[in-house]
């Protein structure tokens, strides 16, 4: 059987699965998805041995799993499936919402224990790369999750690519402002209190406005406190991901180093 013939069933399977599942674009996205127990349905590469060599260097804990999972297709096939294949030559499909993160409770009655880490709320974000960068930050900092309002899908392939697959390490969802989970709402706003003067509680919701328009009036009015990041005069703003990083670091710096290891 030729390489093209042997690849045909895999391509049909990819197209059948692709509409309802999440694209993992590149080795690092697949690596993180597997580490955080995502349900990976299919993984393709144009050079299986090169990817396994990369795994032996960067993710030896996953080499055995990847040996079983990876399916090789002819060189160039990924270009037929994806508009811009990742330089590592790997693409996979995973089940949206699988992984270790638990869904965020929508009310006090839904949660069986108080939250021990804040939720990042992105209010109508527009830049897919920024959303992915924020999810990556949230996973690294141990935040409880990232919620987005507005029309952008936080599981869009470009967002997952920017997060390096770390969607599966923390809760990620889209919701209306009226459906936010319980917790005190702190909103970032230039007119707020200097963040250095207060401590962020572990169960906080921390809202960040869109890159262009800032906070919506709905979230601004709902916020229990407005909080500002320190900034030199005449500097207009920080990048969204930078603002989230500074805020989560402030929260982390107020905890014991082992507080998130429970």
Assess whether pLDDT exceeds 70 at residue 5: no
Assess whether pLDDT exceeds 80 at residue 101: no
pLDDT at 147: 96
182-213 pLDDT, tens digit per residue, is: 999 999 998 899 999 999 999 999 999 987 77
pLDDT band at 43 (very low <50, low <70, confident <90, very high): very high
CA 68 to CA 90: how far, in whole Å?
14
Assess whether pLDDT exceeds 60 at residue 3: no
113-134 pLDDT, tens digit per residue, is: 678 899 999 999 989 999 999 9
pLDDT at 108: 52
pLDDT at 35: 96
Assess whether pLDDT exceeds 60 at residue 1: no
User: What residues contact 53, with CB distance under 8 A and at least 6 apart?
Assistant: none
Find the mean pLDDT for residues 94-106.
Answer: 82
Assess whether pLDDT exceeds 90 at residue 214: no
CA 1 to CA 109: how far, in whole Å?
58
- Fold for domain 108-261? Alpha/beta knot (3.40.1280)
248-258 pLDDT, tens digit per residue, is: 999 999 877 76
Q: Are 248 and 118 in contact (CB under 8 A)?
A: yes
Assess whether pLDDT exceeds 60 at residue 4: no
Find the mean pLDDT for residues 151-168.
Answer: 94
Assess whether pLDDT exceeds 80 at residue 165: yes
55's enclosing H/E stretch is: helix 48-58
pLDDT at 2: 39
Phi, psi angle pair for 188, to nearest 5°: -80, 125
Which string of b and e fits 19-41 if b means at least 16 CB within 10 Å? eebbbbbbbbbbbbbbbbebebb
Bigger pLDDT: 7 or 243?
Answer: 243
Q: Are 90 and 43 in contact (CB under 8 A)?
A: yes
Query: Average model confidence (pLDDT) for the chain?
Result: 88
Assess whether pLDDT exceeds 70 at residue 73: yes
Assess whether pLDDT exceeds 90 at residue 111: no
Q: Are 149 and 123 in contact (CB under 8 A)?
A: yes
């Amino acid at each position: 059987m030729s390489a093209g013939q042997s690849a045909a069933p895999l391509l049909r399977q990819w197209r059948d699965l692709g509409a309802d599942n999440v694209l993992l674009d590149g080795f690092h996205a697949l690596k993180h998805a597997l580490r955080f127990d995502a349900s990976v349905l299919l993984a393709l590469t144009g050079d299986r041995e090169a990817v396994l060599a990369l795994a032996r260097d960067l993710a030896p804990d996953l080499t055995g799993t990847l040996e079983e999972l990876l399916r090789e297709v002819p060189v160039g096939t990924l270009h037929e499936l994806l508009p811009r294949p990742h330089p590592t030559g790997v693409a996979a499909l995973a089940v949206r919402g699988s992984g270790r993160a638990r869904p965020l409770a929508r009310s006090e009655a839904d949660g069986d224990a108080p939250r021990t880490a804040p939720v990042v709320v992105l209010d109508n974000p527009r830049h897919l790369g920024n959303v992915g960068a924020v999810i990556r930050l949230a996973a690294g900092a141990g935040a409880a999750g990232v919620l987005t309002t507005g029309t952008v899908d936080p599981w869009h392939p470009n967002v997952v690519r920017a997060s390096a697959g770390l969607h599966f390490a923390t809760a990620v969802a889209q919701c209306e402002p009226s459906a936010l989970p319980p917790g005190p709402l702190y909103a970032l706003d230039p007119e707020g209190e200097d963040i250095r003067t207060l401590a962020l509680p572990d169960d906080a919701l921390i809202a960040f406005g869109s890159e262009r328009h800032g906070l919506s009036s709905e979230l601004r009015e709902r916020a229990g406190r407005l909080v500002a990041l320190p900034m030199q005069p005449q500097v207009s703003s920080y990048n969204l991901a930078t603002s989230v990083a500074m805020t989560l670091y402030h929260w982390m710096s107020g905890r014991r180093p082992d507080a998130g290891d429970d």
